[in-house]
Copies of this chain bind each other. A is one copy, B any other.
Amino acid sequence: MATNKYISMSVIKRLPRYYRFLSNLKDDGISRISSKELSNRMGLTASQIRQDLNCFGGFGQQGYGYNVETLYEEIGKILGVDQGFKMILVGAGNLGRAIATHMSFQSRGFELIGIFDKNQAIAGEMIKNIPIRSINVLDDFCKENLPVVAALCIPSSESEEIVDQLVALGIKGFWNFTHFDILAKYPDVAVENVHLSDSIMTLSYQVMNTA
């Protein structure tokens, strides 16, 4: 049990994948699994799995392996799927709407409580039982409802201003779909980037350079 030490981002990034595989194992009615068997299924080394899990405590048992249900729940706790962080979404264009409707926020630790767009014409439209609000009421809404996290699906040009505004309103994390890089300007704000354009360009490189 070594909960206080620093955990590298490499480890954190692997946790959701473990969580996913454990969920599948559960669905398949498998109640125990060894690091070796899991490593076969996931395509990585058994040792890495053991080392990753040991960052958070000894969840396994020698000669037995890991209890699927327990491990699933433990990783869920580590990732905070039970936190229900209040989230707002800014930008209700194609991508914003898709994110709002497509994602299962609740099972990932979030609760979507508001959607905002600068386009007055679409204000009032409902997405997943949440009305699109004008960006003009963002301030008031945040002061009243205290969201913790914001998903950004707006053009890059508007990003910096909105980020400043939201940080001032107490936002502690961004799910950033814009091209804008939220830099170390705000050291105690978490940022998770989803740069789709970067991703597709990486694919292009890979296609060119794969045997």
Residues of A within 8 A of B (CB): 12-13, 15-17, 19-20, 42-43, 78-81, 83, 85, 93-95, 97-99, 101-105, 108-110, 148-149, 172-173, 175, 179, 181, 183-184, 187-192, 194-208, 210-211
Contact = CB atoms under 8 A, between A and B. Distances in A.
Question: Which residue among A83, A108, A207, A210 has the maximum number of chain B CB atoms within 10 Å of its CB?
Answer: A207
Given A108-B201, A183-B43, A190 B210 contact: yes
A76 to B, nearest CB: 9
A134 to B, nearest CB: 22
A181 B44 CA distance: 13
B188 A203 contact: no
Contacts of A149: 203, 207
Contact of A201 (B79, B148, B200, B207): B79
A105 B99 CA distance: 20
